[in-house]
Every structure is written in structure tokens, then in C-alpha cells.
Amino acid sequence: MSRPTLLLTRRFPDAVETRAARDYEIRRPEGPDRTLDPAALLAAAGGCDGILCAAGDGLDADTLARLPESVRILATFSVGTDHIALDAARARGIAVTNTPDVLSVATAEIAMLLILMCARRAGEAERLLRAREWAGWAPTQLMGVTLEGKRLGILGMGRIGRELARMARGMGMRIHYRNRTRLALDEEEGATFHGEDDAFLAACDVLSMHIPGGAATSGWLNAARIATLPRGAIVVNTGRGTTVDDAALCEALHSGHLRAAGLDVFAGEPAIFEGYHSAPNVTLLPHLGSATIETRDAMGFRCLDNLDAVLLRDAEPPHRVA
């Protein structure tokens, strides 16, 4: 029996590529390892049964409508699915799957890393040393703020938000969260639920954003919401860059209304908003949320579990989102 053909849009971890090559004929796009625009994706997809894609690949409605008839599944190497037009996939009868759970701890770790770097001015401090400008210890140099006792506001209390809450509790932070629904967390673990934005934002010494991208959340953190945060608050985003109004955030960092921001995600990656380059109180990471060896292997295996279900067993994939 002939093996199904699988398009790998990116270079994936070795263990994942090895397992994929065991069961599939592998197809690759021409050119370097970059997110694929629609034209490159369509050029590479001819004759494929499935596509193992990743965040940023151009899978808009028009591209989905033009994918070859043979494509039965898009398995994205991400929990986020904002790069895929899910309705168009449903209309075509193409299954879409993602990689929930396995990246929650790694992404929460990056959120905590950014919170710590912002609170303790670690980026500024490192740049000082690299510039050979450190004149020695001083009583008032680069003073940050203590996190113990501060209020951490988690926007979007899904799996990643809950992992971050667990870590932050261990550091003595007080947890507030804004979510569609109230969770059992309140009673069991001590976290304050907020059902509306203003009271939530006013309760954030640190705001950590964990909401998905897409039209509904575009520019969520705008000038008005930033103004509702207490003066001196820290903002961290490990969700999607599109959820932040970059100009408004830069202005608040510049004016001193916000103490600092830590960003792992950006609208229009890999480009980043120009104002961030010159803001000393912003820490920038290149979308590292899930970038651990263990997590990236687990994400790839989850993709292959979904592909195997559809393409090898004609079965329902375990992590179907459309």
C-alpha cells in the first residue's frame, strides 16, 4: 500500500522528522526555513494528503479554498490557530488540529521569565555589562521591585495561565484573573475572579496576557485599558502580538505610566514595532514560549498523533479544532 504524502512546512525537531519519515512520503517547500506565504504553500502542497504546518504559515481562506483536493488534514505545530481560517477549513472538510497541554509549562516559564526580567530590570542590567559601562556596585543602581506580595493579573485563565498562577503563588504573589468563566480555583487555591475589565485592570501590579489572536482580541490592550492599570504596572505578553496596541504601549512606557513590558510575541512577526527598539524598559524575546527541547518534541508527536489518526487509520484526530 502506498504511504500518504505529508508536507512539512518547516524544519521540525529531529525526533519528530524521524518519526514522520517512518510513515509518510515527505515533501518540503523550496528555500530556507521560514514561515510560508500562501503562494509558496500552494506550490508545495500539490499531491499532499496532509500538512504539518506552524504558526505564521499563510493559511487564509483563499489559500484553503485553493488547496488540492487530496489534503485531508492540517496539523499545526502550535496551540494557537489564528493563522488558519478555520471556517474555510470546515467548508472544505479539511480537519485542523493543534497541540494543547504540552506547551503550557514552557510558555508559563517564559511569562515568568519576562515578569522577573521586568521587575528586576535584568535586560537593562545585562546591556550595561555588555557595553562595559558598569562602574561597580552602588546602593541605588538599577533598583527594581519585589514581586512577593504583588498582584498578578492573568488575562485568560486557560492551561498556560493556570501554570503561571501555580508558579507565581510559589513566589508569594496574589492572583487575580479575568476569564469568560469563574473557575474552581477561587475557592481551592485563592485567586480572585474578575468578570469585567476595569476592576481587573485596576487590580494588576503585573498584567500577564494569555488570550488568543484573531479579530475578536485585536488591539485589546489599548490606551484606555492601559490607563486603567495602576501607575508603575508591568505588562507581559506571551499570547499573540496582535492583542496589543503597540503605539499605546510604547507611549505608556515612555511616559512612565508603565514601569516595564516584556514581550515574546509581536504583530507581523518577525518585524517588531519600531518604538520598542529604543525603549529601555521593554524586554523583547523572539517568540520563545514553547521553545524547550522537551516541549517541541512533544508538540511534534502530538501533531503526528493527529496526522496518523486521519491519514493512517481513517479515525477522528485527538486534538481537532475544526
Query: C-beta of 108: minimal distance to ligand DGY in Å?
Result: 13
Single out the catalytic residue among 10, 254, 269, 320. Answer: 269
Indicate the SS3 state at residue 91: helix
| Closer of 79 and 298 to ligand DGY (Cβ) | 79
Q: How many residues bind ligand DGY (CB under 6 A)?
A: 7
* Sole binder of ligand DGY in the list 50, 80, 153, 300 (CB under 6 A): 80
CB 98 within 8 Å of CB 299: no
Task: Catalogue the E-assigned strands of the chain.
Answer: 5-8, 25-27, 50-53, 73-76, 95-97, 151-155, 174-178, 191-194, 206-209, 233-237, 258-263, 282-284
| Closer of 96 and 103 to ligand DGY (Cβ) | 103
Which grid cell is 198? 476595569
Q: Which of residues 162-201 bind ligand DGY (CB under 6 A)?
A: none
CB 15 within 8 Å of CB 52: no
CB count within 10 Å of CB 130 equals 9
Which grid cell is 302? 502530538
Query: C-beta of 79: minimal distance to ligand DGY in Å?
Result: 4
Residue 226 near ligand DGY by CB under 6 A: no
Question: What does the buried/exposed string (b/e) look like for 211-248 if buried means 16 or more CB atoms within 10 Å of the residue's CB?
Answer: bbbeeebeebbeeebbeebeeebbbbbbbbbbbbbbeb
Site string for ligand DGY, 11-50 (x = CB under 6 A): ----------------------------------------
Site string for ligand DGY, 236-275 (x = CB under 6 A): ----------------------------------------
Single out the catalytic residue among 240, 259, 302, 319. Answer: 240
DSSP-derived secondary structure letter, 217: G
Which grid cell is 245? 496596541
| Closer of 110 and 310 to ligand DGY (Cβ) | 110
Say which amino acid occupies 104.
S
Nearest one of 55, 1, 7 to 30, comparing CA atoms: 7
CB 258 within 8 Å of CB 229: yes
Query: C-beta of 56: minimal distance to ligand DGY in Å?
Result: 8
269 is catalytic: yes
Q: Which of residues 93-122 bind ligand DGY (CB under 6 A)?
A: 103
Which grid cell is 175? 492572583
CB 292 within 8 Å of CB 4: no
Residue 84 near ligand DGY by CB under 6 A: no
| Closer of 15 and 321 to ligand DGY (Cβ) | 321
Say which amino acid occupies 121.
R
19 is catalytic: no
Single out the catalytic residue among 27, 83, 287, 296. Answer: 287
Residue 289 near ligand DGY by CB under 6 A: yes
Residue 290 near ligand DGY by CB under 6 A: yes
Site string for ligand DGY, 49-78 (x = CB under 6 A): ------x----------------------x
Say how many residues make up the chain. Answer: 322
Q: Please give the backbone phi and psi of residue 79, each rounded to the nearest 5 degrees, phi first.
A: -85, -35
- Helices 104-120 and 122-130 sit at what angle, rounded to 10 degrees? 70
Query: C-beta of 230: minimal distance to ligand DGY in Å?
Result: 28
Query: C-beta of 101: minimal distance to ligand DGY in Å?
Result: 11
Q: Which residues are catalytic?
A: 240, 269, 287
**Residues that bind ligand DGY in the complex, under the rule CB under 6 A:** 55, 78-80, 103, 289-290
